[in-house]
Structure 1
Amino acid sequence: MHYGSKGWYVEELKKLGVTKHEGRKLQSLKTYFLANLLEQKKPSS
């Protein structure tokens, strides 16, 4: 999987335990939305 691809974002979010957002599967969301969601869910260091 390529860094920054839709599949990569889905995989990273699943590693964090996120499989759905507001009742929708991650695969049905747009790439830019997944990128923003990952930024929000990442633990800040």
Structure 2
Amino acid sequence: MHVGSKGWYVEELKSRGVRTHEGRYIEQYKTHVLANLLEEKKN
């Protein structure tokens, strides 16, 4: 899996315990939304 791909973001978020966001599974979001969500969770 390539760093920065959608699958990579999903895997990183799940490793941090994030499965859903605003009532939707994270797999349903586009890559740029997942990137922003991961940045929020890092801080």
Give TM class, smaller chain.
Answer: over 0.9
What TM-score, normalized to structure 1? 0.91
Task: Please tell me the root mean square deviation across aligned C-alpha atoms, in Å.
Answer: 0.7
Q: Which has the larger radius of gyration?
A: 1
1:14 maps to amino acid: K
Unmatched 5+ stretches in structure 1: none
- The structure with the largest helix share of the pair is 2
What TM-score, normalized to structure 2? 0.95
* Count, aligned residues: 43
Unmatched 5+ stretches in structure 2: none
Which consecutive aligned stretches of 4+ in structure 1 deviate over 6 angstroms post-superposition?
none
Partner of 1:5: 5
